[in-house]
Amino acid sequence: MTTKPVSAPVFSIDALDGLIDEPRRIVVSGLVPDELVAVSARTERAHGVTWMSQATFMADADGVVDLARDAPVGGDYAEVAAMGLIWSQQPVDSTSAELFADDIMQPMATTLTAETAGGVRAEARLFQAFAAPGVERCEIRDDGLVGTLFTPAGPGPHPVVMVLNGSGGGINEPRAALLASRGYQAFALGYFKAPGLSPFITETPLEYLEAGLRWARRELQPKDGFVAVSGQSRGGELALLLGATFPELVSAVIAFVPGAVVHGAQGAGDPARGGWQGTTWTRGGVPLPHLWQDNAAVHWHPWAGEAPPSRHHSVFFEGLKDTKLAARARIPVENIAGPVLLISGRDDRAWPSSLYSRMVASALRKHDHRHLVRHLDFDDAGHAINLPIVPSTQISRLHPVSKVPYTNGGTPSGNSRADTGSWRGMLAFLDEITGAATHQNAHAKS
């Protein structure tokens, strides 16, 4: 009579503590050969909401499962992905789309659990930090500005990146903290839906952003005078607009899923001041022409009346058919006096960021732009290109201002690849144009 082998799963994690952009190697050993084991990941994110994922694996002949080598046989993702248990997480009993910790200076803890069919369990924890040791956080309320400054450890001066959020508003502290962890002084500037500012994007004066750029140059004393502007979605549109409007203040533009034209206030607009078709940006008190300003080609409205279509980005293609208006609303990117990085998703269903990025690159090429222009365009990625190794499952969500449902597009796997690829691509771009070697990129696959 033979004795049935007994398994006792054990976790081995390469780097329990690290920055959020660092992949980890997660291994479960002590299993019986060919044994099935369910591995789950639980993370408490913003507002105490728990996010969870689960995948089942089959042990190899040595009783080992290596997430960097083995694809699940079932579960929340279906490919070899060292950090698949993180990016495939979904919120538990919540519709939350907030991915980050309430306190950005504290690492997020993820509890991993391995359980065999016989009910034998093992647990381990890993920690993902946004702020490296020595990074300092300081709230900025100077000159009417509302933002947060993150300063790297070690002596300066440092190159500076101004970080702008999109149509959700607020202050993008996670991206700024992680940039500071990689050697860049990062100024996350809110321009609406932040303390003391308007709750809407409507009629945002470019002079406010100009004041932010001048403050950064004056107070932060950037290395070699370098101040880049990075923004996402409406913030990407804004980053291009700032580079074109204040070329003497903007050393480089990093535009995530940007617009190539000025748009109306859209879902972040004040219903009392034109709503979707209201003015977004002003200069000298004068509204900038935008794509929804008496557009002759748009025959339907994406967020009015009936439930919005799942691909409401079609309205942007309709809008561009009014070629005279589109030409007036076009951002004159040829005025930008520095390098430009464009990042887009080919399955962006919020608006056509891949097309818009190509329009920007084409305009720069036609005007013999003498600085570096790079376009990273990701397959199977949508509008919500984020930081690396965070959940990428929130394809459809409610707009944070209008509360109307819309679709970002992409797939969880494709979005995750874009998250990682865009972050690494941005760091490589910044290092190249600043001549910096201020951080170590994480090269392992995630």
Instruction: Say whether 392 is catalytic.
Output: no
- Identified catalytic residue from 76, 270, 347, 348: 348
Instruction: Say whether 233 is catalytic.
Output: yes
Q: 């376009």: which residue's tokens?
A: 375
- Identified catalytic residue from 312, 313, 383, 439: 383
Q: CA 335 to CA 50: how far, in whole Å?
A: 46
What single DSSP character describes residue 268? G
DSSP labels, 95-164: -----S-SSTTSPEEEEEEEEETT--EEEEEEEEESS-TT-EEEEE-STT-EEEEEE-SSS----EEEEE
**In this structure, what are the phi and psi dihedrals at residue 334, rounded to the nearest 5 degrees?**
-65, -15
Instruction: Say whether 348 is catalytic.
Output: yes
Q: Which residues contact 248 (CB under 8 A, 6 or more apart)?
A: 337
DSSP labels, 402-418: T--EEE-BB-HHHHHHH
- Identified catalytic residue from 29, 40, 53, 233: 233
Q: CA 233 to CA 235: how far, in whole Å?
A: 5
Q: Which residues contact 370 (CB under 8 A, 6 or more apart)?
A: none
Coil vs helix vs strand at 42: strand
Coil vs helix vs strand at 421: helix
The CA angle 245-215-233, to the nearest 5 degrees, is 50
Neighbours of 398 (CB within 10 A): 13
CA 160 to chain centre: 19
**Residues labelled as active-site residues:** 233, 348, 383
